[in-house]
Amino acid sequence: MRKRIEEGLSQAGVNESALEVSTTLVLLFAVLALAWFVDFVVRKGLLRVAAALAKRTRSQWDDTLLEHRTFHRGAHVAGALVVYALVPAVFENWPSFSAIFRNVLEAYVVLVSLMALTGALRAFLDIYQLRHPESRVPMRVLVQATIIVVWFVGLIVIIALLIDQSPTVLLGGLGAMTAVLAIVYKDSLLGFVAGIQIASNDLLRKGDWIEMPDYNADGDVTQIGLTTIKVQNWDKTITSIPSYAIISDSFKNWRGMSESGGRRIKRAIQIDMNSVEFCTQDMIERFRRIDDLKGYIAEKQKELQDWNAEREIDDSVLVNGRRMTNLGTFRAYLVSYLRNHPMINQDMTFLVRQLPPAADGLPIEIYVFSGDKRWAAYEDIQSDIFDHVLAVIPEFGLRVYQHPSGKDVLEVASLGQGLGAVRPHREG
């Protein structure tokens, strides 16, 4: 081939001194053209075959590999191999140029292989997340860390090929750069360590509802990456949290609530302490007509009568012995009402308790769990319960404490004016 080209160029009038160089250039151009043609044919043919097979198969692997251009990148190796095989013949008389070209081609093949491998790893990640959406394994972190390691090693190999040195020589010289690399890749290293701890301790999963006030995060975890964790807040904004912050800072994970049988209702009503009193006979008779109190009134009255009779208590005096109070009866009503409520989980913590009195009144707290954990349904259940509680409180002779409003001030003012109008005038 070389001799024919030399003869053709000689006949074309090329000088004897430039004949060898011209022949080499023509051969190089021909080899590059052949490599481009082979690359084009292989790339187009391989992609068409892969696309046709992907349509016929039910597997998602091939579709995902095509989406990440894995085959497209891998096909570039064919053209490089053609040039690699024919370069010695092109630079027959310049072995040094041949060695340089072959080193560059080897580096190119490594680069293309790295790109194809990266696409394959990302395709694997997509398939894994599709098949295992609730997996506890932080596969995204592991895949990202693998890609970093692969590219780190690959770049060292490429540099070694370009400078015609052994990769071990470069790896040995990295000891002095360890501190620099640790600073440059600090977030990635911390994120990788945090990802391992998150996975091993099951601290966080995709889909968890977390609260992290320091980062203004309150919503669902949408992505757990090597360096960042993305949280979609309830207002649909996105908050990015450094992965290592999950280990170093405190946060609240609502997964326990989601996996439990209910969602906690914890709210108190402030009772005006001036409205608490012993139950009169009329009040007791009125309470008997309340369905949720029939059994309680009968049982409680018998208990108190027996207790007072055993001790010969003089019940003509209110403070002697034990008596029913409107507040205690109200608490008993709340217990019965909530026990019969269809949307309260009766198998979880159930409390109607009296908290320490304060300047704002006497708190009566309801501490139960709703059977429906959905946010909107939970709020409706909680609101319905306390709507009922607020409406029923006056039936027990109790008052809800609240700070004076404008209406209260006007009523006091009008009362004062009325008293002033009927006050007799003093003569003097």
What is the full DSSP assignment across 305-354?
HHHHHHTT--TTSTTSS---BHHHHHHHHHHHHHHT-TTB-TTS--EEEE
Give the confidence band of 60 by pLDDT, cuts at 50, 70, 90.
low
Listed in sequence order, the DSSP H helices in 91-138 are 95-131
DSSP 373: -
Taking domain 199-259, whether its CATH number is 3.20.20.410 is answered by no
Average pLDDT, the chain: 79
For residue 119, the tally of other CB atoms under 10 A from its CB is 21
Do 145 and 192 touch, CB atoms closer than 8 A?
yes
Q: Which residue has the higher pLDDT, 109 or 288?
A: 288
Cα-Cα-Cα-Cα torsion 220, 222, 223, 227, nearest 10 degrees, comes to -50
**Higher-confidence position of 424 and 326:** 326
Q: What is the rounded CA–CA span in Å between residue 81 and residue 426? A: 121
CA distance 371 to 292: 21
Burial class (CB within 10 angstroms; exposed 0-12, middle 13-18, buried 19+) of 128: middle
428 pLDDT band (50/70/90 cuts)?
very low
| In the block, residue with structure tokens 């004076």 | 404
DSSP 280: P
State the pairing for strand pair 362-370/228-233.
unpaired
Q: What is the pTM of this model?
A: 0.54
Dig out the tokens for 176 from the structure.
């002095």
- Closest CA relative to residue 330, chosen from 305, 296, 307: 296
Residue with structure tokens 């053709």? 8
Number of C-alpha atoms within 13 angstroms, CB side, residue 75? Answer: 20
State mean pLDDT over 134-145. Answer: 69
DSSP SS3 for 140? helix
Angstrom distances, CA of residue 210 to CA of 99, 203, 224, 227: 58, 11, 13, 18
Determine the longest span between alpha carbons in the chain, in angstroms.
148
Residue 54 predicted with pLDDT over 80: no
% of the chain with per-residue pLDDT over 90: 24
Radius of gyration of the chain (CA): 41
Query: What kind of fold does domain 263-277+325-408 have according to CATH?
Result: Alpha-Beta Plaits (3.30.70)
Helix and strand numbers (H, E) in the chain are 17, 8
pLDDT tens, position by position, 154-210: 888 888 877 777 777 666 666 556 666 667 667 777 777 787 777 767 788 888 889
Range in 198-202, 317-321, 358-362, 390-394 the model is least confident about: 198-202
The 8-class DSSP code of residue 236 comes to S
Give the pLDDT band of residue 396 (cuts 50, 70, 90). very high
Chain centroid to CA 135: 13
Q: Are 145 and 79 in contact (CB under 8 A)?
A: no
Show me where the domains of the chain are located.
2-191, 199-259, 263-277+325-408
Checking if the pLDDT of 81 tops 80, the result is: no
CA distance 86 to 97: 13
Instruction: Specify which residues 266 forms β-bridges with.
Output: 367
How confident is residue 391, by pLDDT bands cut at 50, 70 and 90? very high
Distance CA(155)–CA(343), nearest Å, equals 61
